[in-house]
Amino acid sequence: MNRYDGVKVLLTGAASGIGRATAIRLASEGAAVYGVDLSEAGLAETAAAITGPGTIATRVADVADEPAVIAAVRDAAETLGGIDVLVNVAGVHRTTPLASLTVDDLMRLFRVNVVGTALFCREAAGHLPDGTGAIVNVASLSAVQGNPYMSAYSASKGAVISFSLSLAAELSPRRIRVLSISPGSVDTPLTRAPDMFPDGVDASYFGRLYAPFGVGAADQIAAVIAYAGSSDAAYQTGVDLRVDGGSHM
């Protein structure tokens, strides 16, 4: 008996990094996954990596595009025959010194990280079963640990934690659980991006990003997401789970 046998999961950000690792982990435990992402090629790579016993269906959509989200959630519910668990992983990062922070940077971070998460929660909540439904939103350790040049990203992830906390209270009468997950520094395409450390910034400030346990792997975060969405976490809601290799001790 697998922990996710018969469980239908709607997952954003499934084309790369933590989202791909989550799709693989959940399908390995029996889940029927519906993966959404901007990247068609990345979704195809994720689907190719899934060997069962679970399954994956995919859809290209921008999580910040309201009509696209409404259509994606409707199709996910039809394709899977319902939605038991929503996992919001899609996100964008930007490292920007304050002096060069633009309105465009702020809007992009908040549109994807906050608006995208909120839209999927709004659209999926009505499908989640009372008593067993769950939402897992990926935030970041940056929300609760000051990291230089990440003020806008950190603020967007702080909003994800606050949104999740209030949503947990709102959905508690239905016994639907809402958790956020805050990874520390994880080796993915996001952290390998060339603009992760912009020219001219003092790289020594970034020392605090590195955890006593080293840089995390995407499958280590996926393992905690899988736990949070499962009945193993049945008595946890309205909480942020840090998965940071001891960065914040």
Regarding 123 and contact with ligand NAD (CB under 6 A), the answer is no
CB of 86 to ligand NAD, least distance (A): 14
The DSSP secondary structure of 125-140, one letter per residue, reads: HTTSPTTT-EEEEE--
d(CA 170, CA 68): 25
Q: Cis omega (within 30 of 0) on the bond before 198? A: no
Residue 39 or 55: the one with the smaller Cβ distance to ligand NAD is 39
CB of 234 to ligand NAD, least distance (A): 24
Regarding 39 and contact with ligand NAD (CB under 6 A), the answer is yes
Please name the residues in contact with 74: beta carbons below 8 A apart, sequence gap of 6 or more: 123
Regarding 133 and contact with ligand NAD (CB under 6 A), the answer is no
How buried is 203 (Cβ within 10 angstroms: 0-12 exposed, 13-18 middle, 19+ buried)?
exposed
Regarding 37 and contact with ligand NAD (CB under 6 A), the answer is yes
Residue 60 or 165: the one with the smaller Cβ distance to ligand NAD is 60
CB of 74 to ligand NAD, least distance (A): 17
Helices 218-229 and 17-28: angle between axes, nearest 10 degrees: 50
Q: Which stretch binds ligand NAD (CB under 6 A): 26-34, 121-129, 163-171, 186-194?
A: 186-194
Figure out which of the listed residues 7, 9, 11, 18 binds ligand NAD, where binding follows CB under 6 A.
18
Q: Which of 149, 153, 205, 210 is catalytic?
A: 153
Enumerate residues 136-155 that contact ligand NAD by CB under 6 A. 138, 140
CB of 242 to ligand NAD, least distance (A): 10
Alpha helix stretches (DSSP H) within 96-249:
103-110, 117-125, 151-171, 189-192, 218-229
Enumerate residues 86-115 that contact ligand NAD by CB under 6 A. 89-93, 112
Regarding 188 and contact with ligand NAD (CB under 6 A), the answer is yes
Alpha helix stretches (DSSP H) within the chain:
17-28, 40-49, 66-80, 103-110, 117-125, 151-171, 189-192, 218-229
Regarding 233 and contact with ligand NAD (CB under 6 A), the answer is no
- What SS3 class is residue 162? helix
Enumerate residues 157-176 that contact ligand NAD by CB under 6 A. none
d(CA 160, CA 182): 10
- Per the annotation, the verdict on 153 as an active-site residue is yes
Q: Residue 48: how many CB atoms within 10 A of its CB? A: 9
Question: Which residues does the annotation mark as catalytic?
Answer: 153
**Residues near ligand NAD, by CB under 6 A:** 13, 15-19, 37-39, 42, 62-64, 89-93, 112, 116, 138, 140, 183, 185-186, 188-191
